[in-house]
Chain A
């Protein structure tokens, strides 16, 4: 019933030292008590005192009575590694009273959290009004900064195009970096990120000018859209604001943004961006039949918040941020669940391009389209490139950043696979595969 791999467990660890210490604890001799049932894993670990360790692998959530402030601590990681590595050491058992107590408390707090409305009921109306006023003032301040930053960017873009792309090509990296830094100051981090991608396009070889011009054109359309934001449909407004860098808050989501369903984690990848760890987790809803993206961020030195690993089903609510093509969502109140099914796949890559064109018509600045596609055979291209060949012999390029092409090829054996992944308009990044009813994450 407990199906995590050590590799997954290691991604939860706050630092290297914890992993090392946990490995030392991942042997039965260190544990006075070990057990698991369908809800949780538990154990009593002999350290300086006897620590009670509880894990709910569904959400996941951890608890240990040791004094460490790390979450999860080495005892939790040790218990997980032991359960993952060795069959039979953590046997199915009746849970001890302290475990039931913890599970009970967690259920109650989940209920409380669900019941809580967006406004804090503990505050009196006057305090609430005060808070709202502060919030509005801060929002207005930001608005002013963004407006100024975008006006400046507009001027800069015009200068660039007046002087020509060849001129831009000859500029040092600083040329783009400084502009990006100004946009960070202007509280438009989304645009800053976009600008930082440009030097990479310039050095991407043949066809760079067309690709750069396309990006600059799309960026300019976004600026124009922002200038007449009020005239646009509300959800398109939200898309423009989010592309610029406004991030949504849970409290701002209306009640009807929340979708309760059985969700399966169908793909996940993590990377670093500007010294921030980013984790993209894709979920798919069995009844709502829609995909959702949960984004998590953490500073380099911190650990990302725990989330279920690919393949796991949860019953949960997902709150979708308003968008013409809603994907980004927040996850709340997840409870482990058992369910079956997988996203109905597109028939081939032509269907992917159709879906992409329709999505762009909704949301012209859509960065990534999640897609499940059937009948794909991975194969090597020229040099170190990889491709996916569909049933009609059309070739989909695999993203050069994808690190596991050999595993993909091994899994397929030259036979078609159903793949889930991210399409960015040029490359497909495989995140998981279904073959003969078996799910594999990359």
Chain B
């Protein structure tokens, strides 16, 4: 009461209101009773000071009306070593961020998890970069999944062990559940999706459908085939995209039949291909091939684009069987065709979709400089053929081939053997020696090379650099950064392979 009265009086000012208070007969009241002088302002301030202290000393806390938060389940997986944890902090702070996926992969392979206090930064990184999520989820441990439930930005990481989330969760949590199920029990993921399919909104249907990309298999085909008739164009398109990756889907069979009709082999003095351009029709539209999406390459024209999409849905081996010719022979026969670019685009797409190494090898020479496509094709090759192909290029007598090898290597994302690494490094050194001016792209690429070489090479990689070369000064920092990264990868591995901290209970 007294305090309220004081505050009201202070708000208005003593020139408008005389301070008045009722004082009890306790110690406080006796103290306040002494303040009844002529000094209005002083008395009000004194009383305020006394009461403020009294209130401060006697304050009570609010009580939580809710039951306590459900604590996290204990986790038996060991926590990574403090040193490994330090490395994670560095990686998350932008120090060699490109090595983060490798670090996460190594940790998951070692069966360890990230230390608790490091989880928020890691979960934030996954919230910003969706590409990190698959690598990050296995190392979060119970604590990470538990934590994700408290922050909507981290919904992607909630534990998928609770299928009730499918009924009750937020959209992001439901997707997280689907993604995690698809990685382990794809049929269960499909069941959940199918069960509520009719009630979902278009966006939820499309995002749910897209999770089927993980663990995609022929059991998904009937559901996807039905989704081609979805009332949402987006959903139907997503279904077509997935069906185009299933070699025995009805969609692939339909388009294959169409392709075989439209593209025919003509033997002759010089073999050639006859091509009928596909017209727009409802069946084709249903299979996801309508007209070029805005922004796509229009060089081919609408019909050419359709042709390339149809060919892109035919497993390349079909052509070999149909015509009894090798990929090289077929490519040679397409040489003078008016629609060659459309054919090539289609074959490249099909080669990537169905991962056909023969066709990849045959197509690679057609794309000597087309960086990302070259890399995408090279990526289809199994390790032995990949290495052989690149070593062949690196030992090519023509500079063009050797440079092409470095270009390809700068774009593929897969580990190299020691032999390939040595040959590539030798080629880089050669470029530095011969340089008339520094190759900026190569300097940039060199940093990336460190990501794919065996870190065991880090000591020998230090020697042999042409420090006398004309442009060495310009190269030096790139080479140093390359060496640092390579060495750091070794250090990082050791920290994970060494002894992890013991599990929760013993800490």
Contacts and interface: CB of A to CB of B under 8 A. Distances in A.
Chains A and B are bound partners: yes
A157 interface: yes
B13 A164 contact: yes
Contacts of B16: 164
B71 A413 contact: yes
Contacts of B13: 161-167
Interface stretch (A44-52, A79-87, A243-251): A79-87
B55 A410 contact: no
A438 interface: yes
Contact of A162 (B15, B51, B151): B15
A165 B11 contact: yes
A7 B462 CA distance: 29
A95 interface: no
Nearest to B75: A413
Nearest to B6: A213
B212 interface: no
A394 to B, nearest CB: 4
Interface stretch (A183-191, A270-278, A355-363): A355-363
B57 to A, nearest CB: 4
A164 B89 contact: no
B41 A158 contact: yes
Given A6-B90, A87-B494, A389-B68, A166 B11 contact: yes
A209 B15 contact: no
Interface stretch (A112-120, A131-139, A217-225, A292-300): A217-225
A395 B56 contact: no
B283 interface: no
A221 B116 contact: no
Contacts of A389: 64, 68-69
A210 interface: yes
A277 B414 CA distance: 48
A221 B63 contact: no
Given A165-B10, A410-B120, A440-B117, A217 B48 contact: yes
Given A165-B10, A360-B53, A360-B57, A413 B116 contact: yes
Q: Is the interface of A mostly helix, strand, loop or mixed?
A: helix
Interface residues of A, number: 63
Interface in B308-343: none
Contacts of B12: 164, 166
Interface string B78-99: 0000010011011000000000
Contacts of B61: 349-350, 353, 394-396
Nearest to A404: B120
A87 B491 CA distance: 7
A387 B494 CA distance: 40
B453 to A, nearest CB: 17
A165 B14 CA distance: 10
B245 interface: no
Given A157-B41, A220-B49, A413-B146, 9 more contacts: A27-B480, A27-B483, A85-B87, A209-B7, A216-B45, A217-B45, A220-B46, A411-B116, A413-B116
Q: Closest 4 A-B residue pairs measured CB to CB?
A: A164-B13, A217-B48, A414-B71, A217-B49
Interface of A: 5-7, 27-29, 84-88, 157-158, 161-167, 209-210, 213-221, 224, 349-350, 353, 356-357, 360-361, 364, 377, 379-380, 387, 389, 392-396, 406-407, 409-411, 413-415, 425, 436-438, 440
